[in-house]
Structure 1
Amino acid sequence: MRNSNREWYFAERPEGEPDTESFELQEGDVPDPKHGQLLVRVKYLSVDPYMRGRMRDAESYAEPWDVGDVLRGGIVGEVIESESDQYESGDLVTGNGTWADYSILDADDVAPVDSEIADLPAYLGTLGMPGRTAYFGLLEVGEPKPGETVVVSGAAGAVGSVVGQVAKLNGCRVVGFAGSDEKTDWLTEDLGFDAAINYKATDDYRAALDDAAPEGVDVYFDNVGGPITDAVFTKLNLDARVAVCGQIAHYNDEEVPVGPRKLPMLIAPRAKVQGLLIGDYATRFGEASEQLGKWVSTGELKHRETVVEGLENAPDAFLGLFSGDNIGKQVVKISE
C-alpha cells in the first residue's frame, strides 16, 4: 500500500471546452472504512463523456459537481480492507468510486468482478455501464428487427461499439460513423459492421449514407448529434426509431446551436425519437450483465479499451474524449 492517497478535485467550472485548469490533484491520508464499507485500491478508473454535464452549475439527470468536490466515476479495484461480511481482502469489485489511489465504497453498492470472463478494464466498458446502456438502449428503445438497417454515431466508442455488435447479433445491417480510418477499419474488419463512414474525411454525409445504407435507416442510435444526426434524419424509413443516448458534439457549447429543423423530417416516416437514461433500467442490470458476459465469453461480443497510464494523467484521459483519442472505452490505469 501507498502511505498516502492522491485524489483529483474539481477546481473550477469550465467555459466551453474544459482544460486542465478544472482539475487539482491533492494528497492526503488513506481513508478508513466504516461499518458496511470497503477500502478499495483502484486499479482502473473510468472517464466518460457524461461527466462534462456534471461540470455545469445546472440541474440534469446527473447531479452537478460542486467546486471543491472530489471527482467520481466508475472504478475496478481490489478490496484492501473490508468492514462488511459480503467481501474480504483480495476480492475484485467494481462500483462508483473516486479519482484516487484508494476509494471508500459501500459494500451494498459494488459488484464482484470475474477476471476469467474478461480482463478488468472490460468491467468499465462492455461489461459495465456503457455495455448496459448499449444493451437496453438498442433493444428496448431501438427495438431492432432482423433485416433492418441500424446506424450508430460514435460507433467506435464504448457504447457505440457494443450497439453495433448487438445489432448484428439480432440480424441487422449495421452502419457506423467514426472519426478515423483506423476506427472505421476496426468496426468493419474486427466487429463485423457492414459499413463505416469516417466523418472527418467525408464532406457529404447524406451521400455517404446513400452508399452505406441504400435501403434507408430503420434504427438510429445517436451518441453524437450535430451534422451527422441532421443527415441521418433525412434517411429515416417508415416507423423508424431513434434512440438519443448522447450529444457529445454539443457538450461544450455555451449556447444551444441552431441547425436544420429536424421535426418535419419525422412526419412522413412517422418516426419515433426517444431519449434514454441507463438508470431507468437499474432493476434489470443483472439481466444485461449476464447476457453481455455470455457473449464476451463465447467471443460473439468483442471489446477494446484505450488505457492511459497513471492517476496523474486522468484529466488528460477525460479531455481526450472530446478530441476522439479513444477507440472503445477510455480508462485510466491506476495500479497493477
Structure 2
Amino acid sequence: MKIVCIDGESQYAEIVRRDVIEPLRAAGHQLDWFEERFADEEATIARAQGYDAVYIIADQGPLPQKFLSSVPSLKLVSFVGTGAHRFVDVAEAESLGITVTNVPDFASRSVAEHAIALVFAVARRVTEGDRIVRAGEWAKHQGLKLRGRTLGVVGTGAIGREVIQMGAALGMDVVYWNRTVRPEIEAELPGRRVELDELFRVSDVVSLHLTHTPETEGLVSAELLGSLKPSAILVNTARAEILDHEALFALLRENRLFGAGLDVFETEPPALDQLPVDQPNLVLTPHVGFHTDEADEVFAIAGRNIVAFAEGNPTNVVRSADL
C-alpha cells in the first residue's frame, strides 16, 4: 500500500520514522511524510492523489470537507488517536467504501495523571511558587489540601474512570456525571453519580473528560461555572470547545475561583492576548496530557492498523453506528 501523512509535525518525525515508516517498509508498504497543513483544501487533495491510505496525526485540524470524495484511490484513513469522528466524516467514508481506523484507549492513564498533576499544581500553587523563587523573592501563599474534598469528574470514559480511581485513592469524595448512564461501568466505580448541575455545586475540584461533539460543545457554560464554589478548582484536559473560556477567565480575574488548569485550547498554540497570562491562579500546559513514552505507542498502533487492513483483517475500525 502507498500511504501518505500530510499533516506531519517535526516533533513526531523521528518517532514515526522508527515506529511506523520502517515497520511498514519491512511489510512491503510505503509511507510518505509531509509537514503541511489541511487548511489549504486544494493542496491537501492534490497531495493525496494516487495514495491508498492517509495517516492522520490530527494536530492540524480535520480533513477538508471534500477530501474523501476527491481522492478516488483512497481505501483507508488511519487516525492517530481516539476521536476520529472529530477529524473524519465517518458516515461519508462508509458511503464511499473507505475504512476509518483509530487507536482506542491509548493514553488514558497518561492523560489522567496529567489532569491530577494540574489539580496539584493549582491547589498547591506550584507554578506561582516557582515564579516567586526564580524572581529572588520569598512569599508563602496558602494552598488547598485535597484529602477530604469533593472531586467532580465530568465524563466516565476511560480517562475519566482513571481520574475517579486516583481521586478516591487520594482520599477525595468523588462524584461523577456522564451523558449516558452505564450501570455496568458505574457499579465498579468509587463515588456516586449525580446530575451535572449538582456536580458543579458540590465539587471542590472539577475535572473535564468529555469528547467534543455537537451535543457537548459549550456544555460547561457560564451558568455552570458560576455555580462553582469560590474555593473551587477547574481542570480541562479534554477538549477546549466544551468549555466557556470567557466565563472561566472572568471568574479567575474576579477571584471567584481558587484556580484553573488548562491543557487544551481552541487554537493551538493559543494567542497569548486571548489568555489571562498574568493570572497566578491559572496553570497552562501545551496539550501534553498524552505525551509520555508509553502513550507514544499510539503512532505504532496506527501503523499496525494499516498492516492489518492490508492483510484483510482490519482492526480498530470506527463505525458511524457506534458514534
- What is the TM-score of this pair, normalised by structure 1? 0.43
Instruction: Work out which of the two has the higher radius of gyration on C-alpha atoms and give 1 or 2.
Output: 2
More helix by share: 2
- What is the TM-score of this pair, normalised by structure 2? 0.44
More strand by share: 1
